[in-house]
Amino acid sequence: MLKILRERLRQGHRTARYPKEPPLLPERFRGAPRIDPGRCVDDCRLCAAACPFGAIEPAAAGVRLDLGRCIFCGECAAACPTGALAFSRDHRLAARCRDDLLAGPDGHRLAIALDGEMRRLFGRSLKLRQVSAGGCNACEADLNVLNTLVFDLGRFGIQFVASPRHADGLLVTGPVSENMRSALLETFAALPAPKLVIASGACAIGGGPFRGSPECHDGIGALLPVDLYIPGCPPHPYTALDGLLRLLGRL
C-alpha cells in the first residue's frame, strides 16, 4: 500500500488541462493544411501528382485538399516547390458533412454542434459503440488513449460502451472490409433511435490506404448516414476529442 502511494506521488497528476489550454503537438505533426494560392505556380500539379490517394484537385484558386482521402503523409507538401501547400500543427479537423472536408485557401468548415432535440439528448452524456471494420488497429489504439488519465474522456460525459443497446451512437473505424460489412450493419441496426454515426479515420471516411481494394468498401459513406467525420491516419487523440466536443456543442 505504501509503495503504491509513494509511486503515485512520484508520478504525479498528469491529466492535461485541455480544453482550457490548447494541446502542444510535436513540431513535425501534420494537422490542418494551409493552402496559399498566391504561391501556386500555374498548372504545376506537383502536389496532386505526389498524392498516392488522389486527395488533391485543382480549384479556381490553387488547389483543394480532400481531408477525407488525405492520410496526412505530407508527400504533397514535400513536393510543393513554393510552399503553397503546407501542414500546420492545428489538430482541429472534424467536419459534419463530407463536402466540408474539402480544404481550400480558407481552410475547411469545422464541425458544428448538433441542434435541437439531439443536442438536448446527447450534449451532456454520449455513449458510443465502436466497431472496427477492416482497419489497421491504429485508430482503435488512439481512441483507447482517450480513456487514459491524460485525456480522461469520462469527464466530458463521453463513454465507449460494450452493448449497442446502451449506445447513442456508432463510431466506425476501418474501410469496411467485405467480411465486416454485415456485422457492422447489424450493430448499427441494434442501436436504439435516435442514433449518431461517426466515421473516424481516413479508412472509415474514404478507404484510407486501402482505397480501391476489392475486399473493402472505401469507407462507410455508402452504407450508413454519417453525422461526424474525423480525419487522420489515425486521427490524433486530440483531433478525435475535438470532433466529439464540437459535435456536442462543448467547444
Per CB under 8 A, which region of 96-104, 115-123, 191-199, 231-239 contacts another protein? 231-239
Is residue 223 close enough to count as binding another protein by CB under 8 A? no
CA–CA gap between residue 232 and residue 241 (Å, rounded) = 13
Q: Is 179 in the site for another protein (CB under 8 A)?
A: yes
Shortest Å distance, C-beta 77 to another protein: 11
Q: How far apart are CA 131 and CA 170, in angstroms?
A: 7
Q: Is 244 left (phi over 0), alpha (psi -120 to 50) or beta?
A: alpha
74 to 113, contacts with another protein by CB under 8 A?
A: 74
CB of 123 to another protein, least distance (A): 22
DSSP-derived secondary structure letter, 37: G
Q: Pick from 2, 21, 27, 222 the residue near another protein by CB under 8 A.
A: 27
Other Cβ atoms closer than 10 A to 14:
9
Q: Is 67 in the site for another protein (CB under 8 A)?
A: no
> Which distant-in-sequence residues (6+ apart) come within 8 Å of 176 by Cβ?
133, 134, 184, 204, 216, 217, 218, 219, 220, 223
**Which residues of the chain form contacts with another protein (CB under 8 A)?**
3-4, 7-8, 10-11, 14, 25-30, 50, 52-53, 71-74, 130-145, 147-150, 160, 162, 174-175, 177-180, 183, 187, 208-211, 213-216, 233-234, 236
